[in-house]
Structure 1
Amino acid sequence: MMNSIKKYSVYLILISISFGYAQTVVKVPPAPNALDEKGLRHGQWNGFFDDSKILRYEGNFNHGKELGLFTYYANSDKKIVMATRNFDAKNNAFTIFFDENKNKVSEGNMVDKQRQGVWKYYHKNSKAIMTTENYINDKLEGARKVFYSDGKLAEEVLYKNNLKEGLSKKYSKEGKLVEESNFIKGLMQGSYKVYDESGKVVINGQFKKDKKNGMWKYYQNGKLVRQMNADTINGHKKPSLHKKK
């Protein structure tokens, strides 16, 4: 009777050990650069430059689609990061470009390799924003702004379907308006003015299809000192000037 109990106890121990091993099986991740059953990239992938065989990028694929953080390197044995792209499940990729000193050059969202939404561009070797642009399907749309290194606005121009459209303004480092111009489908059209430091007009003229048009007037201290007919210049004729003493 005792022998039967001992044999049964040993049997139970062996069964328990077997179940213990079954419960602790560890799944081994696929080797880098693996393909799924459909031949699509899956798991960790490393890409290399064809000529040098140096690491070009590294990141994870989910059945053929990028997912999560991808890091891209320069063709150098120093492993210099040139860009990162963070993919979400909808294939949006927040992208950052760097220079060789690890400073940001630009950043924004990309969808199917096209810029979408607001992009920021930085002054060289600085965290200060140099330019902001808005994109729709990789084309400029809306306000494009340029800033001085201290953050003050230097220029603002509107875009439509990747072409300048509407009023453009330029400012001095002191924040004063120095130039106003208008655009239609990328060409200068209509009123054009230049201002001095006191805000007085120094040049006043018109553009037509990107060329000076009609009478242009030039001022000093608010007084007209010269005027010329731009049409004679465009017609390759000697311009007629009128000076006031």
Structure 2
Amino acid sequence: MKKLLIVMLLNIPVQLFSQEPAQVRRLGYDTVSIHHEHAYNREELKIYNRISNRLYKAGTLLNGKKEGIWRTYNENGTLNRVEEFHSDVSNGILLTFETNGSLQREQYSQNGALEGILHEYSGGILKLEEVYENGKLNGWRRVFTQEGKLQEEGIWKNGQRDSINRWYYPNGKMLITYTYRYGTIAGPSKSYSESGKIKAEGNYFNNLEDGSWREYYESGLLSAEGNYTSGKKSGDWKIYSEDGNLMKTQLYKNGLLIKERVESKCDVLKMSQ
């Protein structure tokens, strides 16, 4: 439905009243005004490039204010921008285009504020999807790579990240997940290796690691576990070997290693090698 609307907008003629008697006036060097007999309060305005004399911008004024579809053109004559106005305020669709004519941006406004779904493209490939409500990000947001692969996705509320947000490796595997609240990281988080295996998991508070954390080997076995306080290691941290045995226990205070106890079994193993 939206694609049909875009096609219709691009094909609406600039002169909406071309079949009616018109009075053409030149306003200065670069502007032409067209008044139609049965629409005295409405005029078409065409603005030309002062150097090349090519059409630069065209649209309609109603009682001296922008109304309906306005178009802006590149120097080569291709469309640069299509924007819908009501009473001089952006209201409706806005399309921008790359110099080769490809769609670059599609968004909608209501009374000057972004509303609904926004899309951004590069070279015909979708780069960004966002949902707006009353001018603020409010809903899902997705960012894509130059190849069109999902790079980031998450929920936003009142212009801030909220709930779970995810990032991905170029191969499509999950990189990391954060839980947000009012724009700050607060809650569970998990990071993954490029193969898809979990690397670490724990909690955040106020953008810092806080509470219980676990780290893992690529095999999936536990490599370390302990606690963070305001982003710093604290208390006992247990370090495990790749075969699952406890190797040592480290004591931290404010992120500093205070002491370390090596498990006797590991000492025996070292002596036997």
- Regarding TM over 0.5, the answer is yes
State the partner residue of 2:107.
85
Q: What is the CA distance between 1:102 and its match in structure 2?
A: 2.8
Query: What residue number does 2:161 align with?
Result: 140
CA distance in 2, matches of 1:155, 1:33: 48
Q: Work out whether residues 141 and 160 of structure 1, in 8 Å CA contact, stay in contact via their aligned partners in 2.
A: yes
Paired residue for 1:20? Answer: none
Residue 262 of structure 2: aligned partner: 243
* Partner of residue 30, structure 1: 44
TM-superposed deviation, 1:162: 0.5
- For 2:70, give the aligned amino acid: W
Shift of 1:91: 5.4
CA contact (8 A) 1:219 1:225 kept: yes
Tell me the equivalent position of 1:13.
Answer: none
Q: CA deviation at 1:83?
A: 1.9
CA distance in 1 between counterparts of 2:117 and 2:61 reads: 25
Q: Compute the RMSD of aligned alpha carbons.
A: 3.2
Structure-2 residue corresponding to 1:226: 248
Mapped contact 1:178–1:196 kept (Cα < 8 A):
yes
Q: 1:91 to 1:193 in 2, by over 3 A?
A: closer
1:155 to 132, 154, 176: 176
Equivalent-residue separation in structure 2 for 1:168 and 1:91 (angstroms) = 31
| Ranges in structure 1 where 5+ consecutive residues have no aligned partner | 1-23
Structure 1: how far apart are the matches of 2:207 and 2:252?
Answer: 21
1:98 aligns with 2:121: yes
Instruction: Show structure 2 runs of 5+ residues with no match.
Output: 1-18, 22-37, 46-57, 268-273
CA distance in 1, matches of 2:72, 2:206: 42
Higher-Rg member (1/2): 1
Aligned twin of 2:146: 124
Contact kept in structure 1, 2:215 and 2:225, CA below 8 Å = yes
Q: How does 1:203-214 map to 2 (within 5 A)?
A: 203-214=224-235
SS in structure 1 of the partner of residue 44 of structure 2: coil
Q: Percent identity, please.
A: 19
TM-score, normalization by structure 2: 0.65
Q: Is the 8 A contact 1:233 1:239 kept in 2?
A: no
Aligned with 2:228: secondary structure?
strand
Q: 1:232 to 1:211 in 2, by over 3 A?
A: closer
Q: Is 1:111 paired with 2:133?
A: yes
Distance 1:209 1:233, change over 3 A: closer
1:40 aligns with 2:40: no
Say yes or no: does 1:59 pair with 2:83. yes
8 Å CA contact 2:114, 2:135 repeated in 1: no
Q: CA deviation at 1:72?
A: 2.6
Please give the secondary structure, in 1, of the residue aligned with 2:186.
Answer: strand
Equivalents in 2 of 1:232, 1:162: separation in Å? 26
For 2:54, the equivalent position in structure 1 comes to none
Q: Does the 8 A contact of 2:252 with 2:259 survive in 1?
A: no
Contact 1:164 1:185 in 2 (8 A): yes
Deviation for aligned residue 1:190: 0.3
Contact 2:106 2:120 in 1 (8 A): yes
What is the identity, as a one-letter code, of the residue corresponding to 1:43? G
Q: Which residue of 1 aligns with 2:187?
A: 166
Return the TM-score normalized by structure 1: 0.71
Larger % of strand: which?
2
For residue 111 of structure 1, report the CA deviation from its aligned partner.
Answer: 3.2
CA separation in 1, counterparts of 2:231 and 2:73? 47
Change (3 A) 1:232 1:71: closer
**Does the 8 A contact of 1:98 with 1:105 survive in 2?**
yes
Distance 2:103 2:205 in 1: 41
Write 1 or 2 for the structure with the bigger share of helix. 1
C-alpha deviation, 1:47, in angstroms: 5.6
Partner residue of 1:179? Answer: 200
